[in-house]
Structure 1
C-alpha cells in the first residue's frame, strides 16, 4: 500500500476540472488511465524524471473506483484531499448548504482516536 500514491492521485485529479469530471462519470476508466499514465511521474519534476514501480494494490484501486472516502482515510489518504475532491464531484448533487460535507462527516463518525496515520 502506498499512502503517497493515494494522496498523489487525489491531489492531481482535484486540480484538473476535466479529470474531476472523468473521475465522477467513469471512475474505473480514470483510475486505470491515471495509474498507467501518471502514477510513476514524479511531482514537480521534469518529464524526463520518472519511476517505474508505483502501482495501486487491489484494495486501493477498489476504494478509488468506489469513491469510498472512508476506506481511503482508513488506508491513510489525507482527509482534506478526499474532502476537496469529493466536494468538487458531489456537492452539486445536494440542495441544502453543506449537505455533502455533513454526509461526508457522518460516514466517518465511527472512526475514533487515534485516527489512522496520514503521514506520507
Structure 2
C-alpha cells in the first residue's frame, strides 16, 4: 500500500477544478486515467521526469473509485486532503456544514490512535 500515492491523488485532483468535477461524475474512470497518466509523474517536475513503479492496490483503487472516504481514512490517507477534496465535490449536495457533519459522523467510530498518516 502507498499512502504517498493516495495522498498524491487527493492533492493533485483537489487543486484542479476540472479534475474535481471529473472525479465527482466519473470516479472509476478518473482513478484509472489518473493512475495511468499521473501516478508516476514526479510532483513539481515540469521536465517530463517520471518513475515507473507506483500503482494503487486494489483496495485503494476501489476506495477512491467508490468515493469511500471512510476507507481512505482507515488506509492512512491524510484526513485534511480527504476532507478538502470531498468538500469540493459534495458540499453543494448538503445544507451549510452538512457534509462536514456527515464526514465526522462516518468517522466517529474511529478512536485514538488514528491510522498512521505518515508517508
Q: TM-score range by the shorter chain?
A: over 0.9
TM-score normalised according to structure 1 size = 0.97
Find runs of 4+ consecutive structure 1 residues off by over 4 angstroms: none
- 1:71-107 Cα offsets, whole Å, 9 max, x none, are 101111000001000000000011x220000000000
Q: How does 1:1-120 map to 2 (within 5 A)?
A: 1-94=1-94, 96-120=95-119
**Which range moves more in the overlay, 66-75 or 39-48?**
39-48
SS at match of 1:50: coil
What displacement does 1:2 show? 0.2
Unaligned runs of at least 5 residues, structure 1: none
SS at match of 1:44: coil
SS at match of 2:6: helix
Aligned residues: 119
TM-score normalised according to structure 2 size = 0.98
